[in-house]
Amino acid sequence: MTTRTEPHEDSMSTPALVPRPDTPTRHKAPETRVGAGLFDPRQLIRSLPDAFRKLDPRVMVTSPVMFVVWVGSVLTTVFSFEDPGDWFGWAISAWLWLTVIFANLAEAVAEGRGKAQADTLRKAKTDSVARKVDGTLVPGTELRIGDLVVCEAGDVIPGDGDVVEGVASVDESAITGESAPVIRESGGDRSAVTGGTKVLSDRIVVRITTKPGETFIDRMIGLVEGAARQKTPNEIALNILLASLTIVFLLACATLPSLADYAGTRLTMVVLVALLVCLIPTTIGALLSAIGIAGMDRLVQRNVLAMSGRAVEAAGDVSTLLLDKTGTITLGNRQAAGFVPVHGVSEAELADAAQLSSLADQTPEGRSVVVLATEKHGLREREPVGAEWIAFTAQTRMSGVDAGGRKVRKGATASVVAWVEGRGGTVAEDAEGLAARISEAGGTPLLVAVEDAEGARVLGVVHLKDVVKDGMRERFGELRRMGIRTVMITGDNPLTARAIAEEAGVDDFLAEATPEDKMALIKREQAGGKLVAMTGDGTNDAPALAQADVGVAMNTGTSAAKEAGNMVDLDSDPTKLIEIVEIGKQLLITRGALTTFSIANDVAKYFAIIPALFAAVHPGLDKLNIMGLSSPDSAILSAVVFNALIIVALVPLSLKGVRYRPLSADKLLRRNLTVYGLGGLIAPFLGIKLIDLIVSLIPGIG
Residues assigned a catalytic role: 324
> Are the C-beta atoms of 5 and 332 separated by less than 8 Å?
no
Amino acid at position 658, single letter: V
Distance CA 211, CA 449 (A): 58
Is 541 annotated in some ligand binding site? yes
Distance CA 493, CA 499 (A): 10
Distance CA 544, CA 541 (A): 6
Is 396 annotated in some ligand binding site? yes
| Burial of 53 (C-beta count, 10 Å sphere; 0-12/13-18/19+) | exposed
Is 265 annotated in some ligand binding site? no
Distance CA 401, CA 387 (A): 6
Is 26 annotated in some ligand binding site? no
Is 478 annotated in some ligand binding site? no
Distance CA 254, CA 242 (A): 18
Is 432 annotated in some ligand binding site? no
Amino acid at position 60, single letter: M
- Provide the 8-state DSSP code for 658: P
Q: Compute φ and ψ for 404, nearest 5 degrees.
A: 60, 35
Task: Identify which of 81, 209, 72, 95 has the alpha carbon closest to the alpha carbon of residue 146.
Answer: 209
Note the Cα 25 to chain centre separation in Å.
15
Distance CA 502, CA 476 (A): 12
Amino acid at position 484, single letter: I
Is 444 annotated in some ligand binding site? no
Mark out the alpha helices in 197-232 (DSSP H runs): 216-225
Q: Which helix (H) or strand (E) holds 186?
A: none
Q: Compute φ and ψ for 578, nearest 5 degrees.
A: -65, -40
Is 361 annotated in some ligand binding site? yes
Q: Length of the chain in residues, anyone? A: 702
Is 395 annotated in some ligand binding site? yes
Mark out the alpha helices in 146-265 (DSSP H runs): 173-176, 216-225, 233-263
Q: Which residues contact 251 (CB under 8 A, 6 or more apart)?
A: none
Distance CA 582, CA 295 (A): 11
Is 410 annotated in some ligand binding site? yes
SS3 of 306-326: ECCHHHHHHHHCCCEEEEECE
Is 117 annotated in some ligand binding site? no
Concatenated DSSP letters of 532-556: EEEEE-SGGGHHHHHHSSEEEEETT
Distance CA 253, CA 159 (A): 59
Annotated binding site for ATP, which residues?
361, 365, 392-399, 410
Tell me the binding residues for Mg(2+): 537, 541
Question: Where is the binding site, in residues?
Answer: 361, 365, 392-399, 410, 537, 541
